[in-house]
Structure 1
Amino acid sequence: MAGSHFCLSVRNVDGVRYRRAGLLIRQTRRRRAFRMGGAFAPSAGQETRPPVMALSAELRMAKERRMCIPARKMKPAVSPSTSSLRVTHVNYKSLAELNAHCWPRRRLKEFELILAVRGEFEFINHETGERVEQHAGDILVIHPGELHTYRLLSSAEHAFFSCIHCMMTPRVPLDQCPPRLTHWETEHAMGELFRRADDLRRTNGLGSGKLLAGVVRLIWLYLQEPPRPPADARLTTMLNYLEAHLHEHPSRLDLAQRFRMTPQRINAIFKHELGMSPGAYVLRALAGRAYALMRDDQLSVKETAHRLGFANPFHFSRVFKKIYGHPPSEI
């Protein structure tokens, strides 16, 4: 039944098309006959609609005679997801390892993304007078062509930062760039992405260049849509408490006693806002802090486990492998 309906629809559509085409051709024949001094009048019983083959040929000729200048193709909008991205420089190191702690009056040809892991920094735009202070967890975006100075404000002994230089072709408009300064929590995956970019820069594999570009593009997309603050004010208070007492491995019962709520209510708030239980959040935060201690401060597995309050290195290794997929000894 559906097939017959489809065939009738096609015949109807073709019939409309042919009738319109036949009208166009009849009008053309009348004009031609008028110019030649004759008249066009079909005899009685004559089929006015031309055959299909003739109709197609005459219709094509009529379209060619009435052809207009084709519309100009519009250039597609430039966006970071469609631009070609090339990473020119990546570092992830302590300021104590560098001789220079100030980069005065420079103008770059590419974007620079700077993550402040520890310490305080300052950005100065000499053309607009803009001054921005950067603290731990902040990511600063410097646009190409800006005459600027970037310098360290705090002590270089404990300062740590990471910067990525990347070029996009064609150039991304300013209204599609991330904000100048974006704050991220220290335990967020953003720090891991900067570390991963530095690891890929040191790798000479066949696909390391494409992987590096993919990681930097992911950082860019994260910066365009920063994480929304928790809607529940109680969650913010609980996260601050966990951050300060992370080495004690607080449990859901500890949070319930501290904030005078039931364990079920604590679990419901974490599930709704973060998509994980309080226990899972604590393990992820511990693994992230452990990674930073072993990678940045060069602590051993035993020293890291002791500083983070684990009973022994074996328990710490199991937790770390559960989060990152590989043992801490491979860092």
Structure 2
Amino acid sequence: MDKQESRLMSILEVILRLQSDPPVPLSFSEIYDQLQKDDPATKLTKAWVHRVLKTLTETKLVRLDNPTSHRKKYIADVNTIMAGFEELKSKKIEELEAIQKKVETELVEISALDCGYLSREFVKDVTGRTEEVSSRIVRGVEELHRILRFNMLEKAREGDIIRATLLWLGPFVDETSLVRVKRFFDAAEQGAEVRYMVSTDVFNAEKDSSVRQGLQGLMGMMQMFLDLRARGKKFDGRLYSGPKTYNQVSFNNESMALIIAENPVTATWMTREFNPDLIDNAVKTFDNDWKKAKSVLDLTPEDFKAFGAGPEGVIRKILSTDEG
């Protein structure tokens, strides 16, 4: 508490001590005289005390008995203190909300920064050389998909293969899920072959109410998928019921995002220069699992039952074309 606040509290305390119950309005003289008695060594001017009383009434900690009267009288009790606290609380909330808005804006701007791009540009400016980042840790769903977008999905063309495995649903399903899935559709539109493999464990995950809510955003995905296929685009989604495998997205044998933790989502993005053996092994494992997986276009009611999908399950509805 600073000196100004301390003086405010001293005068408020004096008014409260002088006040009776029920409260009787106090004149300026009564308050000023008591202040002098409490601390004779401190020389307080009447003008200064008037200013403090004005501040206390503005903050509603003290109220005027008759605001229009020439000779003002003051009241402070539990009701005025409560009103004052509410006023101070409201002002503090406004201050914090303004700070929060500023912080959130800065957070969005900082989160959007591509550190890989910045590091390449920095090195280029200093040395004149163009160097590529060979590996980095990626945290969060948005950052992961930003890496996938710029390093794989938007550069994919005819002859490229994108392999994606989804083992967990929780962190990846929300109101923006369809936007992220559409990036893979767009890669197929550009001529790439996209193989998207999903573990059948996702049917257990949808028992979580928050996951079910997030999955609602994927309604309509199947129609996009069917439209791609009808136009000869190379996109397939398959369900995989085998043992745990690499949770990854790879671009040919050139680069890979290996997801290593679910909460929070954490991945290692790497190029072939960093670890060719790991990328080759992940791609080989994926291709073997892909052969055993079943396309969502070939699913039957019996398959859904075997995978543990209830008849009213959200994922079943998303993947259903016409079960008949």
State TM-score, norm by structure 2.
Answer: 0.27
| Greater relative contact order (CA < 8 Å, ≥ 6 in sequence) | 2
TM-score between both structures, scaled by the size of structure 1: 0.27
The structure in which a higher percent of residues are helix is 2
